[in-house]
Structure formats: structure tokens, C-alpha cells
A = this chain, B = another copy of it.
Amino acid sequence: MSDIITVVAPVNIAVIKYWGKRDAKLNIPLNDSVSGTLDAKVMCAKTSVCVRPDFEEDRLWLNGENVSIYKENFQKCLNKIRILAKEQKSRDEKFLTWKVHICSENNFPTAAGLASSAAGFACLVTALSKLYGVQTDVSALARLGSGSACRSVYGGFVRWHAGSNPDGSDSIAKQVVDSSYWPEMKVLILVVADNKKSTSSTKGMIITAKTSELIDHRCRVTVPSRVEKMCEAIKRKDFPTFAELTMKDSNEFHAVCLSSYPPCVYLTDVSNKIIEIIHRYNEMRGSPKVAYTFDAGPNACLYLLEEEVPKVISLIKYFFPSSSETFIKGLPCPDLKEEFTNELQISPMGKDLIKYVIYTQVGDGPFELNDKNHLLNENGYPKTLV
């Protein structure tokens, strides 16, 4: 077994949103959620972990910067892993007294607001549980670090069951279908140019849970029925139903945020314009061909089937003209045969309101890198430091 373990983990984008905690310490959510795991070849976190007798303290490097490992969510994961290793006697006692070095990087700008913590913690706990040799539900470990990270430990479509046990032991993710089940499912992430600071999701969830008079109805009534319908739609590969549920849930999530006091607002004029265009496009096409969903930020995530990709990229380029030569990133951009001709009676927006588009797809869960491409050198220190 190698001294250093390196894991790559994907991001995930929820189609039924997680918002609000039943238990803040254990990151137990108020409601079930469902997400698609996105291809780690396009967007991922990569984490190397290493334990050695000569390390003086636990240390953490994030995106090239030495940061404190004594943040609560890192400590929760690390402690839990060490407790499990001790209980399971998976490593000898000496090993468990040694310190750990952790080095993690995202291959996409964290500033883009693309839920990097989900990939990051899925990656971290997968790497640590391999390093410490523990047998456990990795999703529950990831959840301790960042709630939605528990969904990034599986590929395909994943359901996070809120669970009902006080200790969170049944608040775990389960795969709905794997990534090969619905291979036509593609994703376009529209990164909106925006420098507005909005309420962090951790803070937003607390405000909403405490003040919204609508969240209880969402968690008790609308989400439970929507989650079941969503899982069935995915299993049936029923895109129109999948799309409608996705859009309704995104809107309801943002509605609940808006009903908080003070209100949490994440959608901007550009986000709302994207919403309007997608509805008009779907209307023109006679059934939902594209679904939008927005996390706690202005970026749109569009789910759509492969055959729609050229049309929708043309549409985005038409309504959101860009001066960037690398406007479409990620998977190879398909041939845009026909230019979009505007039948929606909506005028194109100003230039560069969307910074770029990431073209990706539903993909697999975390995997270990065996190519020695570690982020830590043989002494257990980062190979590159910014």
C-alpha cells in the first residue's frame, strides 16, 4: 500500500434541492434531495492524503494555499475517520497517532460558485477512508463535512435520504441509477458574470429554517411527493417530467429563500432572463426540452438530452452574445449546424453577461488515481504551492 493516496471526485447539481437542516452539527437535512453527479473529467476536486511518523501536525492545503485544518467541518470528518479506524482496528495503533497531510485542488474556479465543497469533501473522505482502511458508508462521512457532498460519493443520479435517526445514521445517499443508465443526459452550466456577494448557503439555510413560513410546507408536503416522482421519472427516462419537476423545485427553493426574513435572494436579472428564455423555448417546442436549476447563486445549470445540445448552445449564444473565444468549455462543442433564429420575441441581452458555459454530462463517482499523479511529494508536502 502506498504512503500517499489520491482521489478524484465529481461535483453534483441537485434537481430536488437541499435547503435547511434538522441538525446543524450533523448536517442532517430537513428533506430528501436528488442530484445528478457530473463528469469528473470535466469538473472535479482532487485530493491527496498522506500519513507519516515525522509529520508534526495535521495540515491542509486548499487550492495551493495552506489553510487551517481546525475548521469544524474538517475536524468532524477527520475525527470520525480516526474513531472508526480505531474501532475497526483497520490500522495499527501507531499509525493512528501519526499526523496527516491533506492537499486538495479543484480544476474549476471556486469563485464561479459551483458548489466546490461537495466535490471537495466527497474527495477528502473517500481518500481518508482508503488511507485509514475503514469500512463505512462514505456518504455519511462526506455529509459531516458538507451536506450535499454526500451525494458526490456516487455517480449517476443520487438520492440523499434525510433519514429520521437522531444520530444521522440513516441520513445517507443512495444511487438511483448509475451514469450509464441515461447516457443521453447532458448538462450546460451557464456561469453568470456577477460580483454580488450573496448570503452563504450555510447562513441562508439557518435564516430560512428560522424565519420562512413556507419552508415547513415545502419539506412536509411538496418535496416528499416530488422526490418520488423524480426518481420514477429518472428510472423511466421521462425527460419532460424530469424537466418540469426540476424547474418547479428550483423555483420553489428560491421562493422559500425569498420568504425568509431578511430574504435570501440568489437569482439576478440574468438568471431570471435565462428562466424566461427556457420557458419560452420549451413552449415553442411543445414540451420541455431543457430544464434549468439554480443553486444558491446566479449560475444556471441546464439539464438536457444530447440531441438538444447544439440547438441550445446556439440559443445561448444568440441571447447572451460573448466576446470570449473559449465561451464553451468542457466536452467538445458539437457542430452548431443551424444558427438560432429568434422565434421567441425576446431581444438578445448585452454582451458578456454570461462569462462562459461548461458543457458536461452525468458521470461517475469518486475514483482513486493510480498514476502517481499525487498533489503531495514523497515527503508529504505539496508539489506546487501558489
Interface window among A86-94, A251-259, A369-377: A251-259
Closest chain B residue to A261 by CB distance? Answer: B248
Interface window among A11-19, A49-57, A167-175, A263-271: A263-271
Minimum CB–CB distance for A28 against chain B, Å: 24
Find A268's partner among B214, B256, B261, B269 (CB 8 Å cutoff): B269
Q: A214-B217, A269-B269 are in contact. Are A251 and B256 (CB under 8 A)?
A: no
> Which residues of A, 238-284, contact B by the 8 Å Cβ criterion?
244, 247-248, 251-252, 254-256, 258-263, 265, 267-269, 272, 275-276, 279
Find A256's partner among B222, B255, B276, B279 (CB 8 Å cutoff): B255
Q: A214-B217, A217-B217, A218-B214 are in contact. Are A259 and B268 (CB under 8 A)?
A: no
The answer to whether the Cβ of A111 comes within 8 Å of any Cβ in the partner chain is: no
Minimum CB–CB distance for A98 against chain B, Å: 45
List residues of chain A with CB under 8 Å of any chain B CB: 213-214, 217-218, 221-222, 244, 247-248, 251-252, 254-256, 258-263, 265, 267-269, 272, 275-276, 279
Other 14 A-B pairs with CB < 8 A, given A213-B248, A251-B259, A265-B276: A213-B221, A213-B252, A217-B217, A251-B258, A251-B261, A252-B259, A255-B256, A255-B258, A258-B258, A262-B275, A262-B276, A262-B279, A265-B267, A269-B269
Contacts of A269 in B (CB 8 A): 268-269
Stoichiometry, as copies per complex, reads: 2
Closest chain B residue to A251 by CB distance? Answer: B263
Find A258's partner among B254, B261, B262, B276 (CB 8 Å cutoff): B254
Contacts of A254 in B (CB 8 A): 258
16 contacts between A and B (CB under 8 A): A213-B221, A214-B214, A214-B218, A214-B252, A244-B261, A251-B259, A251-B260, A254-B258, A255-B256, A255-B259, A262-B275, A265-B267, A265-B272, A265-B275, A268-B269, A269-B269
CA distance A251 to B261 in the complex (A): 8
Contacts of A279 in B (CB 8 A): 262
CA distance A191 to B355 in the complex (A): 30
CA distance A251 to B279 in the complex (A): 23
Contacts of A252 in B (CB 8 A): 213-214, 259
Contacts of A213 in B (CB 8 A): 217, 221-222, 248, 252
Minimum CB–CB distance for A10 against chain B, Å: 29
Closest chain B residue to A259 by CB distance? Answer: B255
Contacts of A258 in B (CB 8 A): 251, 254-255, 258
Contacts of A265 in B (CB 8 A): 267, 272, 275-276
Q: For A218, A254, A263, A275, which residue has the most chain B Cβ atoms within 10 angstroms? A: A263
Q: Is the CB of B275 within 8 A of A261?
A: no
